[in-house]
Amino acid sequence: MLCSALLCCTLLYSTLLYLTLLYSTLLYSTLLYSTLLYSTLLYSTLLYSTLLYSTLLYSTLLYHTMPYHTIPYHTIPYYTIPYYTIIY
C-alpha cells in the first residue's frame, strides 16, 4: 500500500516536473522567436530607411551638381528654362 502511494506520488511529481519544463521551454522559445522576429524587422526597417535616405541624398546631390545642359527638360520646372532655349 505504501509502495503504491509512493509510486503514485513520484509519478505525479515527475509528470508535473515534465509539464513545467515543457511549458518553460515553449515559453522561452516563443520569447526567443518573437525577439528575433522583432530585431529582424527592426534591422530591415532601419536598413530600408538608410538605403532610401542615401538614395534620395545621392539623387539630390547628383541633380544639383550636374551641368545645366545635361539635365533633361522634363525634370526642370518650366519657368526655370531660359526663354531662348525653348524650341517652339
Residue 2 lies in a domain: no
Residue 1 lies in a domain: no
Split into its structural domains, the chain has a count of: 1
Instruction: Using pLDDT thresholds of 50, 70 and 90, give the confidence band for residue 61.
Output: confident
Query: Which tens digits make up the pLDDT trace of 20-59?
Result: 999 999 999 999 999 999 999 999 999 999 999 998 888 8
**Of 2-16, 20-34, 59-73, where does the model show the most confidence?**
20-34
Instruction: Using pLDDT thresholds of 50, 70 and 90, give the confidence band for residue 19.
Output: very high
Residue 35 lies in a domain: yes
Residue 3 lies in a domain: no
Q: By residue range, what is the domain housing residue 58?
A: 9-85
Q: What separation in angstroms does the CA of 30 have from each of 33, 39, 40, 50, 86?
A: 5, 14, 15, 30, 66
What mean pLDDT is reported for the chain?
80
**Mean pLDDT throughout 10-24?**
92
Q: How far, in Å, CA of 34 to CA of 1, rounded?
A: 49
pLDDT score, position 6: 83
Residue 26 lies in a domain: yes
CA atoms within 13 A of residue 71's CA, in its CB half-sphere = 18
